[in-house]
Structure 1
Amino acid sequence: MKSYSIEEINELLNGIIIGNTIEKIKSAEQLDKAVAGQISFIGNKRYENLWDNSKASVAIVGQDISIEPGDNRAFIKVKNVDIALAQLLEFFAPKLPVFEPRIHPTAYIDSTAELSEDTCVGAGAYIGARVKLGKGVMIFPNATILEDSIIGDKTTIWSGAVIRERSQLGSECIIHPNAVIGADGFGFTPSETGLVKIPQIGNVVIGNQVEIGANSCVDRGKFSATIIGNGCKIDNLVQIGHNCVLGQFCIMAGSSGLAGSVTLGDFVVIGGSASIKDHVTIGSGAVVGAGSGVTGNIEAGKTVLGYPAVEAKNALKQWAILKRLVKDYGVKPQ
Structure 2
Amino acid sequence: MISYTIEEINAVLNGILVGSTSQKIEGPEELQKAKNHHITFIGSAKYEKYWADSEACAAIVNASITIEPGNNKAFIKVPNADLAMARILELFNPEPPILDFDIHPSAVVHTSATIGSNCKIGPHCYIGKDVVIGDNTILYPNVSIFDESTIGTNSIIWSGTVIRERCVIGNHCIFHTNVSIGADGFGYRPSDDGRGLVKIPQIGNVIIGHHVEIGANTCIDRAKFSSTLIGDGTKIDNLVQIGHNSILGRSCIIAGHSGISGSVTLGDGVIIGGASSVKDHVTIHSGATVGGKSGVISDVKSGQTVLGFPAQEARETLKQWAIIKRLAKK
TM-score, normalised via structure 1 length: 0.97
Structure 1 partner of 2:34: 34
Give SS of 1:18's match: strand
Distance between the aligned counterparts of 1:65 and 1:22, measured in 2? 22
Structure 1 partner of 2:315: 313
The count of residues paired between Structure 1 and Structure 2 equals 328
Structure 1 partner of 2:221: 219
Question: Is contact 2:20-2:72 (8 Å) kept?
Answer: yes
Distance between the aligned counterparts of 2:134 and 2:32, measured in 1? 43
Name which of structure 1's ranges 48-57 and 228-237 shifts more when overlaid on structure 2.
48-57
Structure 2 partner of 1:230: 232
Structure 1 residues 101-116: aligned runs within 5 Å: 101-116=101-116
Structure 1 residues 287-326: aligned runs within 5 Å: 287-326=289-328
Unaligned runs of 5+ in 2: none
Distance between the aligned counterparts of 2:217 and 2:307, measured in 1? 26
Question: Is contact 2:2-2:92 (8 Å) kept?
Answer: no
Distance between the aligned counterparts of 1:100 and 1:106, measured in 2? 14
Distance between the aligned counterparts of 1:246 and 1:139, measured in 2? 25
Distance between the aligned counterparts of 2:126 and 2:120, measured in 1? 12
Structure 2 partner of 1:263: 265
Does 2:105 match 1:77? Answer: no
Structure 1 partner of 2:47: 47
Question: Is contact 2:206-2:221 (8 Å) kept?
Answer: yes
- Structure 1 residue 26: deviation in Å? 1.1
Give SS of 1:52's match: helix
Structure 1 partner of 2:123: 123
Structure 2 partner of 1:194: 196
Distance between the aligned counterparts of 2:14 and 2:182, measured in 1? 43
Does 2:46 match 1:60? Answer: no
Amino acid at match of 1:236: N
Structure 2 partner of 1:332: none
Give SS of 2:178's match: coil
Question: Quick one: which of 249, 252, 269 aligns to 1:250?
Answer: 252
For residues 253-280 of structure 1, give each alpha carbon's deviation from its aligned partner in whole angstroms, at most 9, with x where no partner exists: 0000100000000110000000000000
- Structure 1 residue 28: deviation in Å? 1.1
Question: Quick one: which of 284, 293, 302 aligns to 1:282?
Answer: 284
- Structure 1 residue 327: deviation in Å? 1.1
Distance between the aligned counterparts of 1:145 and 1:66, measured in 2? 54
Structure 2 partner of 1:209: 211
Distance between the aligned counterparts of 2:199 and 2:254, measured in 1? 29
Unaligned runs of 5+ in 1: 329-334
- Structure 1 residue 2: deviation in Å? 2.6
Amino acid at match of 2:100: E
Does 2:136 match 1:136? Answer: yes
